[in-house]
């Protein structure tokens, strides 16, 4: 049986602000290891002989980052499906199922969120093999995590009668929403409850059949989104109108809580969904915490600190005489919270949205397919950026209505188009781009190009851009 990993790389990870943001969410960050969570998820199953190349589902705004991160680890995906809007997991998996069914009518889908941690890979592989036996008989399998504590932040699955065809697996009796503390303690004591991992294995055809019965509007919209979709470079764009018309729902609500074919495979695999800073602290306890239970990363100084997570991204962070704290520093924001209160971080993000600020959207460093730019300074009618262009890459041919730009080459070679003139600039040379002038920046060399850009004008927003030509086919 051919098993196709389907990696769900959507979501904004708002509970891990200020590190996780809409443009660079937690699955695209190196939170646990030196690789990003997406990369760890893909590599976790890359060596299994029965698994095919992964199919990744992500948002349009993350497409180049996802492609680049896969390239960095030497993985060529089966495809990258682009969601024009977020519609939760049931439509995303339905789109993937339609895509796979066209390739392989008997395809099995191993649905994996891109932002989970699994420390025990061999037991995970064994659980997947056990689930595959059940799926061959028509089951839709989910993986129930053997609970290590009465956790109130997870949903639970209550097992029913033993499942026919595989020892140690069970029919699903019911799904349980996130419980209160007393209920969670009762679930753990009972022994018949498991954490709901949000990971699944089923036939693409089987999932679509059940979806058509219980959530036909999702099934119809997802099928149309794939059928009317089109290739864009290395990506498959789902049809925007069809997918936007799709109701938003999770796999659990749309299918798994309703189907008669749901089974749960218990799994003790060192799993965490890293859903908060305290969860990340817990995951890191076995990976390098100090003798006082502290997890630290970056330029950090601790004195008299215990059971805390301290992370510095751009400067020294000194913490003295405290316990049970989360301290996270980025160039434009700092979070200080008690570990017991980190679920309230999501409220900070809501506040930033309400105030129409940008700290929840992106960092000062913003990645683009050609490289990245980083904000250095800003004030009335001006802002300064550091721009890095990868070798052989180029920005779009573009124009701005409201700002002029001054470029100074710090290192590397720049090919600059300004109107009808094309020139080469080397280190310490500069140029000026007037308002309304067509222009383009390219790196024709073999080393990264670094420039300083000074923008001046009445409006400096990133949406003041008219693209005439773009190798990345951005609008």
Q: What is the DSSP string of 147-182?
A: PSS--SSS-EEEEEEEPTTSTT-EEEEEEEPPP-HH
Cα 84 to Cα 239: distance, rounded to the nearest angstrom: 8
At 456 the pLDDT is 97
Smallest CA-to-CA distance from 287 within 299, 274, 300 is with: 274
Query: CB of 118 within 8 A of CB of 100?
Result: no
Give the separation between CA 255 and CA 286, rounded to whole angstroms: 36
Question: How far apart, in whole angstroms, are the C-alpha atoms of residue 32 and residue 67?
Answer: 21
CA 82/CA 116 separation, integer angstroms: 21
pLDDT of residue 166: 79
CB atoms within 10 A of CB 286: 9
Give long-range contacts, CB 8 A cutoff, 24+ apart: 39-43. 39/69, 39/70, 39/72, 39/73, 40/117, 41/7, 41/112, 41/113, 41/114, 41/115, 41/116, 42/5, 42/7, 42/70, 42/73, 42/75, 43/73, 43/75
Q: What pLDDT score was predicted for residue 450? A: 98
* Predicted local distance difference test score (pLDDT) of residue 160: 96
Residue 194 near residue 156, CB atoms below 8 Å? yes
Rounded Cα distance, 300 and 290, in Å:
13
8 A C-beta contact, residue 15 and residue 339: no
What pLDDT shows up at residue 13? Answer: 87
Rounded Cα distance between 116 and 123, Å, is 16
Beta-sheet strands, E only, within 228-306: 230-232, 235-237, 262-267, 271-272, 295-297, 300-303
Q: What is the pLDDT of residue 221?
A: 98
For position 153, what pLDDT does the model report?
A: 87
Sign of the C-alpha dihedral computed for residues 222, 223, 229 and 234 taken in this order: positive
Cα of first residue to Cα of last residue in the chain, in angstroms, is 41
> Looking at residue 288, what is its pLDDT?
86
Which pLDDT score is estimated for 286?
81
Beta partners for 463? none
> How much is the pLDDT for 47?
83
**Full pLDDT tens readout for the chain, 475 residues:** 799 999 999 988 899 999 999 999 999 999 999 999 999 999 999 989 889 999 999 999 999 999 999 999 999 999 999 999 999 999 999 999 999 999 999 999 999 999 999 999 999 999 999 999 999 999 999 999 999 899 988 999 999 999 987 789 999 999 999 999 999 999 999 999 999 999 999 999 999 999 999 999 999 999 999 999 999 988 999 999 999 999 999 999 999 999 999 999 999 999 999 999 999 999 999 888 999 999 999 999 999 999 999 999 999 999 999 999 999 999 999 999 999 999 999 999 999 999 999 999 999 999 999 999 999 999 999 999 999 999 999 999 999 999 999 999 999 999 999 999 999 999 999 999 999 999 999 999 999 999 999 999 999 998 999 999 999 988 7
Predicted pLDDT of residue 12: 84
State the alpha helices, DSSP H only, in 22-88. Answer: 37-46, 63-72
Tell if the pTM clears 0.85, that is, is over it: yes
Instruction: Report which of 277, 255, 282 is spatially closest to residue 336, judged by C-alpha positions.
Output: 277
């Amino acid at each position: 049986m051919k098993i196709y990993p389907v990696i769900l790389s959507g979501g904004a990870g708002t509970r891990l602000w200020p590190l996780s943001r809409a443009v660079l969410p937690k699955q695209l960050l190196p939170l646990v290891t030196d690789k990003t969570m997406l990369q760890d998820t893909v590599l976790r199953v890359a060596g299994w002989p029965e698994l095919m190349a992964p199919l990744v589902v992500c948002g349009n705004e993350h497409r180049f980052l996802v492609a680049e991160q896969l390239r960095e680890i030497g993985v060529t995906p089966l495809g990258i499906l682009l969601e024009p809007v977020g519609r939760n997991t049931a439509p995303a998996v339905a789109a993937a199922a339609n895509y796979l069914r066209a390739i392989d009518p008997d395809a099995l889908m191993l649905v994996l969120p891109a932002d989970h941690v699994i420390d025990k890979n061999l037991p995970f592989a064994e659980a997947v093999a056990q689930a595959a036996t059940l799926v061959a008989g028509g089951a839709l399998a989910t993986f129930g995590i053997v609970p290590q504590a009465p956790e109130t932040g997870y949903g639970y699955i209550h097992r029913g009668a033993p499942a026919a065809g595989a020892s140690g697996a069970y029919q699903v009796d019911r799904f349980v929403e996130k419980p209160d503390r007393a209920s969670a303690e009762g679930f753990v004591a009972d022994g018949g409850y498991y954490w709901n991992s949000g990971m699944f294995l089923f036939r693409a055809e089987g999932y679509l059949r059940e979806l058509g019965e219980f959530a036909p509007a999702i099934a119809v919209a997802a099928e149309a989104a794939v059928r009317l979709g089109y290739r864009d470079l290395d990506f498959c764009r789902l049809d925007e109108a069809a997918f936007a018309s799709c109701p938003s729902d999770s796999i659990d609500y749309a299918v798994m809580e309703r189907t008669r074919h749901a089974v749960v495979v218990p799994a003790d695999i060192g799993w965490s969904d890293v859903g908060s800073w305290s969860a990340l602290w817990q995951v890191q306890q076995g990976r390098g915490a100090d003798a006082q239970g502290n997890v630290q990363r970056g330029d950090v100084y601790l004195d008299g600190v215990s059971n805390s997570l301290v992370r510095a991204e751009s400067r020294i962070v000194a913490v003295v005489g405290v316990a049970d704290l989360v301290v996270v520093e980025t160039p434009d924001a700092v979070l200080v919270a008690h570990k017991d209160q980190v679920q309230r971080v999501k409220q900070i993000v809501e506040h930033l949205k309400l105030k129409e600020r940008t700290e929840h959207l992106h960092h000062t460093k913003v990645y683009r397919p050609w490289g990245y730019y980083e904000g250095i300074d800003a004030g009335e009618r001006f802002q300064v950026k550091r721009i890095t262009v990868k070798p052989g890459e180029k920005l779009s041919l573009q124009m701005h209505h409201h700002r002029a730009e001054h470029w100074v080459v710090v290192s590397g070679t720049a090919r600059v188009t300004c109107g009808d003139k094309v020139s080469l600039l080397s280190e310490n040379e500069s140029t000026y781009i007037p308002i309304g002038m067509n222009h383009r920046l390219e790196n024709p060399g073999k080393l990264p190009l670094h420039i300083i850009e000074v923008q001046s004008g009445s409006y400096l927003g990133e949406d003041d851009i008219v693209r005439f030509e773009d190798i990345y086919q951005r609008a």
